Structures are given as structure tokens and as C-alpha cells.
Amino acid sequence: MTYLTNYRKILITTKTQYETVEDYRNFIEDELSLILSDNLKKQILQTIEVNDNLEIISSLESLYNKNFELDKNNFMNLARMGSLSFIDQSWKNHLSEMDYLRSGIGLRAMGQRDPLVEYQKEGYDLFEDLIHNVKLSVVRLLLNFDKISQQNNDLDKEKKKKHQMLIIKIKLEEMIHVLRVVGLNIKNAE
């Protein structure tokens, strides 16, 4: 639930940054489109008033809880593995961005700015972006767990069907082989 708690903070703190309701509505739609599929986003936006953060958050929490109850073990494994995967990939990107920043920071001295202070500020901003992107990616993954679970079930069914077809094929080949052997023995006996 900590993922949604962090997302709640994002929604509540950003409401004060927008002057009009329409600007905030666009922000909410953009954020929801980042973490939800189009169908779920439309469903949530149709059933609630965008001005009410509590309704949005409760809708997201109910979706989260529904997915959690769907399959607790797989849900927690997906959360764990997804978090690690997103952290790993994002950290690699962050390191390359920091390297790029380091290579260009020397030019700041010509602009009469302290390169060390500039590097620290921009590095901190990049790190904050890293944290935000990881949280957002994990929330998106967990809120779409039902789709992922359904896709895995479809793949499992497909694998089982292919496995059954393979077994049937092997048994048929064995029967054909036995019939040929028996047929040869009958011809040899005559």
C-alpha cells in the first residue's frame, strides 16, 4: 500500500499548483493515463468528480486491493520483481545521465556559476526524477495486475494445449510404429 500512499501525496500536493479546475483535470487525466489502461481511466473518470482527490485515491486503492486479493502470492512477487527491475533499469539510466551531466558541468564556470553547486542541484533533481519514475512505474504495474495475470493465464492455457497436442502426436506416432511392426510380423508369418 506504500506505493499508493506515495501516489496520494503526489496528487494532493500538486492540486495546489494548478490555478484552474480544468488545468488540474488535465493533470489528473495525464497521471491516470500513465498508470492505467484507457478503459480503466475512463471508468474511474466517469464515476468520480476529478476535483475530489479522495474519490480518485479511493478508486485507485480499491483497484489495488482487488488486484491484491486476486492472487496475493503472485501480486507480491510481481511487486517485488517489478520494483527491482524498474530500480535496476532506472539506476542505469540515472548513472548515464549523471555522467552526461558531469561532462558538461564545466561550462557552468564560464557562466559565473559554481559548477559544484550546479552539479549537486541538477544531480538531486535527476535523483528525484528517478525516485518518481520508479514509484510511478511500480504503481502502473500493480494497478494493471489483473491484465498481466490474465495474459499469464492465457499463456499457461496455450502451453498446456500445445503440451497436450504434443503428447497426442507422440502417442499417435507410437501407435503407427506398433501397427507397422505388427503388420510386418503378420506378413512374415504368412
pLDDT band for position 12 (50/70/90)?
low
Contact 104, 159 (CB under 8 A): no
Q: Which three cell numbers stand for residue 31?
A: 497521471
171 pLDDT more than 80? no
Alpha-carbon distances of 169 from 41, 161, 165, rounded to whole Å: 46, 12, 6
The residue with cell 541538477 is 122
Query: Comparing C-alpha atoms, which of 8, 2, 3 is closest to residue 138?
Result: 3
Query: Comparing C-alpha atoms, which of 133, 132, 137, 146 is closest to residue 62?
Result: 146
Mean pLDDT of the chain: 70
Contact 105, 119 (CB under 8 A): yes
The residue with cell 480518485 is 56
Residue pLDDT, tens place only, 21-50 = 666 666 666 666 665 666 666 666 665 555
104 pLDDT more than 60? yes
Assess if CATH 1.10.3060.10 describes domain 72-143.
yes
Residue pLDDT, tens place only, 126-158 = 999 999 888 878 777 776 666 655 555 556 667
pLDDT band for position 189 (50/70/90)?
very low
Q: What's this model's pTM, rounded to 2 decimal places?
A: 0.49
How far, in Å, CA of 44 to CA of 55, rounded? 9
The boundaries of every CATH 1.10.3060.10 domain in the chain are: 72-143
**Quick check: helix, strand or coil at residue 52?**
coil
What is the mean pLDDT of the segment spanning 8-33? 61
How far, in Å, CA of 28 to CA of 156, rounded? 36
What is the mean pLDDT of the segment spanning 63-74? 64
How far, in Å, CA of 21 to CA of 143, rounded? 26
13 pLDDT more than 70? no
How far, in Å, CA of 171 to CA of 150, rounded? 31
The residue with cell 482527490 is 53
Query: Comparing C-alpha atoms, which of 128, 129, 6, 131 is closest to residue 64?
Result: 6
Contact 67, 145 (CB under 8 A): yes
pLDDT band for position 122 (50/70/90)?
very high
Return the minimum-mean-pLDDT range out of 15-19, 69-73, 90-94, 171-175.
15-19
pLDDT band for position 5 (50/70/90)?
low
Contact 39, 27 (CB under 8 A): no
